A and B are shown apart, each in its own frame.
Chain A
């Protein structure tokens, strides 16, 4: 097939844009439990993360497409400090986040490679470098060095897997605290990238829920019900039922009235006991829903499979919501 070759080479500004989104996510995941909202391209800084005590993490993101390019390191650092110097209210942290290996042009080249270093832990010579720059800029004297941090993470390469490797690891770290499988990390990251890169989202503040809920969507969207189905149903009709009712099974848990009814039914029985009793509940209670679904399905086997799959989809969705909200303290 003669296909027009489309260059995957990003322009410099596009690369900066992508890096900034990734940096926002990287920082958010580091403080997900206390964060309440995130703003990309905020009023003052590239990234502004508000925490539950109403303090704000301000971050400046600077990147290079070629990590061996050191020509503008000092200029980038200066621009970042100039911008961060303007942030004086409700400051939790002032962060310079970058993919530059040695953003301070430190004589000890490897000192800050892919790490998070507070100003207090800077090498003395590097503290001097920062202070010298600050003394040279207008509001430098107001800069709260005690709240300053340098964050560097690996973000390079043409290949997405390579480029987003570190952000992916952060995503996996978060998922490890939830019931969501690590295998979903890639899909979730893709979703987040799209969300944070979206023009509408770029300048508006997004609540933690707005960032996390798409993660729930991705998780439940690609939820594999087959194994669960086989645990609660001996009919072995998963493929047939999905072929006939895929849309129906996907849509049913979206209907809030139905969602709260099934979840409420489950809670009534197991709220006080706690633990996961989804299989037991579905096996023992699916008949309660026969009447409403017998209108659309006459075959007893199909009906049982359909009801069980809808109940599973609903309860697993609720479990995912609960788990992600719990991990992020939402």
Chain B
């Protein structure tokens, strides 16, 4: 897979402000001797252009841009255009983030959402959080990587679908309960604060008569809807009855009774017709009476509410919010108990998924082999054991340069296994391999690995080091800090080397 070119400009910039870059099919060094020149922003823009939810940087807001990227993958060319939440893949319009999985499924040519959801973690190392992510955590912004999901994705799209569905359900529930907990905690604080204020003022702050009326009105409206629905059903039934009996009567059927008497088939002579039909008619009338009463009751409440001149007047948005929050029946202890239970269930399911991710999964075996081999090459294999288990281990006890190298080892192994699985060479995006405590020698060592084992991959590396260029088709894009400036026509366009 190759990103051939990218063109972008802010939507409000003139046409001549369009910046265009063509990329080398192997190494693309995004370089500047100084920091804060836009290297990371440029890398992020590339990923943003492909439909990932990349957060803005402090200076550049991606949603202001119109970006067009040309990507080639397995002899197919995709022209991807993105403007904020809209994205067009070869003119098919999709909406982000809802359709992100669809976009990535097309561009990365995979039907496994487990793989698609975790693909960024396998191809991109962000300058900040990227160098802390080994097997699970944040890739960038809200995009996560979970190695067990990734392994499931490699295994096949439908494997352990039941556990995944249950886990997804629990994840969703937990998210909601956590928000509920926040509301419950807020409510407790708000009630304490407002009760104190109410005591001072000598009034009750919550559940005012007006509020009771509003609740009563809400209940009546609900009843009204229910009755209206029933009336619609009964009226439809009566219309059907009419058609049915007209149809029957139109055939002029006459039946013979046991005593030889002739009986025409009419609505009066069809056994059970009149009773049921009459009952339906009476029920409609009855529901209409009930509806009339409800409407009168609602109107009476409206009058009563309108006669309360001080109804919520002078109340700030915050006060209204607090009053409404106070009305929500929330039991903090019960919510916490549920969260605890769900977390336990979630943990169990994750354990199951972890187990099944490595059980009879040739990809897991191969992945751990790559990781171990690269770790050996970079001289850090003593920190991991030569078995599958380290894939899930928390290796955060390792620190500094070793951890940095370990991240590199894990991540390029993901990229390599991913490419084998997808049967094409995925691009790699590596931001700031130099790190804080890493020496240039170590960076060169990493680049060597990339040059050797990823020779057919397109690689984007952003660095302050002037990394050596050994191949003709490598390219350096030098940053001068002006790429994302507003192009007014007065400023010099960025010079592409």
B-binding residues in A (CB < 8 A): 1-4, 191, 194-195, 198, 200, 209-210, 213-214, 216-217, 251, 253-257, 259-260, 263-264, 267, 318, 321, 325
- A321 near B212 with CB under 8 A, answer no
Nearest 4 interchain pairs by C-beta: A260-B272, A256-B241, A213-B282, A256-B276
Given contacts A198-B289, A254-B233, A255-B240, contact A260 B209 (CB under 8 A): no
Separation of A171 and B237 alpha carbons in the complex (Å): 31
Given contacts A254-B280, A255-B237, A257-B240, contact A318 B212 (CB under 8 A): no
Given contacts A217-B286, A256-B277, contact A251 B233 (CB under 8 A): yes
Interface residue from B209, B234, B270 paired with A2 (Cβ < 8 Å): B209
Residues of B contacting A: mostly: helix
Interface residues of B in 252-283 (CB under 8 A from A): 270-273, 275-280, 282-283
Among A3, A209, A260, A264, chain B packs the most CB atoms within 10 A around the CB of: A260
By a CB distance below 8 angstroms, the chain B residues around A3 are 209, 212
By a CB distance below 8 angstroms, the chain B residues around A267 are 271
Chain B nearest CB: distance from A206 CB in Å? 10
- B280 near A2 with CB under 8 A, answer no
B186 within 8 A of A: no
Separation of A313 and B300 alpha carbons in the complex (Å): 38
Separation of A22 and B70 alpha carbons in the complex (Å): 84
By a CB distance below 8 angstroms, the chain A residues around B283 are 217, 254
9 residue pairs of the A-B complex, CB under 8 angstroms, read A2-B209, A4-B304, A195-B286, A198-B289, A200-B289, A216-B279, A259-B276, A263-B272, A264-B271
List the B residue with the shortest CB-CB distance to A216.
B279
List the B residue with the shortest CB-CB distance to A200.
B289
List the B residue with the shortest CB-CB distance to A255.
B237
B311 within 8 A of A: no
By a CB distance below 8 angstroms, the chain B residues around A325 are 275
- A318 near B272 with CB under 8 A, answer yes
B496 within 8 A of A: no
List the A residue with the shortest CB-CB distance to B229.
A247
Interface residues of B in 200-214 (CB under 8 A from A): 204, 207-209, 212
Chain A nearest CB: distance from B205 CB in Å? 12
By a CB distance below 8 angstroms, the chain B residues around A209 are 278
- B244 near A257 with CB under 8 A, answer yes
- B286 near A1 with CB under 8 A, answer no
- A256 near B280 with CB under 8 A, answer yes
List the A residue with the shortest CB-CB distance to B289.
A198
Among A195, A217, A257, A318, chain B packs the most CB atoms within 10 A around the CB of: A257
By a CB distance below 8 angstroms, the chain A residues around B273 are 256, 260
A-binding residues in B (CB < 8 A): 204, 207-209, 212, 233-234, 237, 240-241, 244, 270-273, 275-280, 282-283, 286, 289, 304
Separation of A20 and B472 alpha carbons in the complex (Å): 106
List 7 additional A-B contacts (Cβ < 8 Å) besides A1-B207, A209-B278, A254-B279.
A195-B289, A217-B279, A217-B282, A251-B233, A254-B233, A254-B234, A318-B272
List the A residue with the shortest CB-CB distance to B242.
A256
Chain A nearest CB: distance from B282 CB in Å? 5
Given contacts A3-B209, A256-B244, contact A321 B279 (CB under 8 A): yes
Chain B nearest CB: distance from A227 CB in Å? 24
By a CB distance below 8 angstroms, the chain A residues around B278 are 209, 213
Given contacts A254-B233, A255-B237, A256-B237, contact A2 B279 (CB under 8 A): no
Separation of A263 and B240 alpha carbons in the complex (Å): 18
Chain A nearest CB: distance from B210 CB in Å? 10
- A1 near B234 with CB under 8 A, answer no
Among B209, B212, B276, chain A packs the most CB atoms within 10 A around the CB of: B276
Residues of A contacting B: mostly: helix
Separation of A256 and B281 alpha carbons in the complex (Å): 12
List the B residue with the shortest CB-CB distance to A253.
B276
Separation of A258 and B141 alpha carbons in the complex (Å): 59
Separation of A253 and B276 alpha carbons in the complex (Å): 8
By a CB distance below 8 angstroms, the chain A residues around B244 are 256-257
Separation of A198 and B282 alpha carbons in the complex (Å): 14
Chain A nearest CB: distance from B80 CB in Å? 41
By a CB distance below 8 angstroms, the chain B residues around A253 are 276
- B272 near A1 with CB under 8 A, answer no
By a CB distance below 8 angstroms, the chain A residues around B212 are 1-3
Chain A nearest CB: distance from B83 CB in Å? 44
Separation of A263 and B270 alpha carbons in the complex (Å): 11
By a CB distance below 8 angstroms, the chain B residues around A321 are 275, 279
- A194 near B289 with CB under 8 A, answer yes
Given contacts A2-B207, A2-B208, A264-B272, contact A257 B241 (CB under 8 A): yes
By a CB distance below 8 angstroms, the chain A residues around B286 are 191, 195, 214, 217
Chain B nearest CB: distance from A169 CB in Å? 24
- B270 near A260 with CB under 8 A, answer yes
By a CB distance below 8 angstroms, the chain A residues around B240 are 255-257
Separation of A257 and B240 alpha carbons in the complex (Å): 9
Separation of A27 and B269 alpha carbons in the complex (Å): 32
By a CB distance below 8 angstroms, the chain B residues around A200 are 289
- B279 near A260 with CB under 8 A, answer no
By a CB distance below 8 angstroms, the chain B residues around A251 are 233, 237
Separation of A263 and B273 alpha carbons in the complex (Å): 10
Separation of A246 and B234 alpha carbons in the complex (Å): 16
Separation of A256 and B267 alpha carbons in the complex (Å): 11
By a CB distance below 8 angstroms, the chain A residues around B234 are 254
Separation of A209 and B283 alpha carbons in the complex (Å): 12
Separation of A148 and B209 alpha carbons in the complex (Å): 54
- B276 near A254 with CB under 8 A, answer yes
Separation of A1 and B204 alpha carbons in the complex (Å): 10
Chain A nearest CB: distance from B70 CB in Å? 48
Separation of A195 and B287 alpha carbons in the complex (Å): 11
By a CB distance below 8 angstroms, the chain B residues around A254 are 233-234, 237, 276, 279-280, 283
- A260 near B271 with CB under 8 A, answer yes
By a CB distance below 8 angstroms, the chain B residues around A214 are 282, 286
List the B residue with the shortest CB-CB distance to A251.
B233
Chain A nearest CB: distance from B237 CB in Å? 5
Chain B nearest CB: distance from A326 CB in Å? 12
Separation of A221 and B435 alpha carbons in the complex (Å): 74
By a CB distance below 8 angstroms, the chain A residues around B276 are 253-254, 256, 259-260
Separation of A143 and B271 alpha carbons in the complex (Å): 46
Separation of A260 and B204 alpha carbons in the complex (Å): 60
By a CB distance below 8 angstroms, the chain B residues around A255 are 237, 240
Separation of A131 and B209 alpha carbons in the complex (Å): 58
By a CB distance below 8 angstroms, the chain B residues around A194 are 289
Separation of A284 and B396 alpha carbons in the complex (Å): 69
Chain B nearest CB: distance from A87 CB in Å? 30
Chain A nearest CB: distance from B68 CB in Å? 48
Chain B nearest CB: distance from A176 CB in Å? 22
Among A1, A198, A253, A321, chain B packs the most CB atoms within 10 A around the CB of: A1
- A2 near B271 with CB under 8 A, answer no
Among A195, A259, A264, chain B packs the most CB atoms within 10 A around the CB of: A259
Chain A nearest CB: distance from B407 CB in Å? 50
Chain A nearest CB: distance from B255 CB in Å? 13
List the B residue with the shortest CB-CB distance to A2.
B209
List the A residue with the shortest CB-CB distance to B287.
A217
- B233 near A213 with CB under 8 A, answer no
Separation of A209 and B241 alpha carbons in the complex (Å): 19
Separation of A217 and B282 alpha carbons in the complex (Å): 9
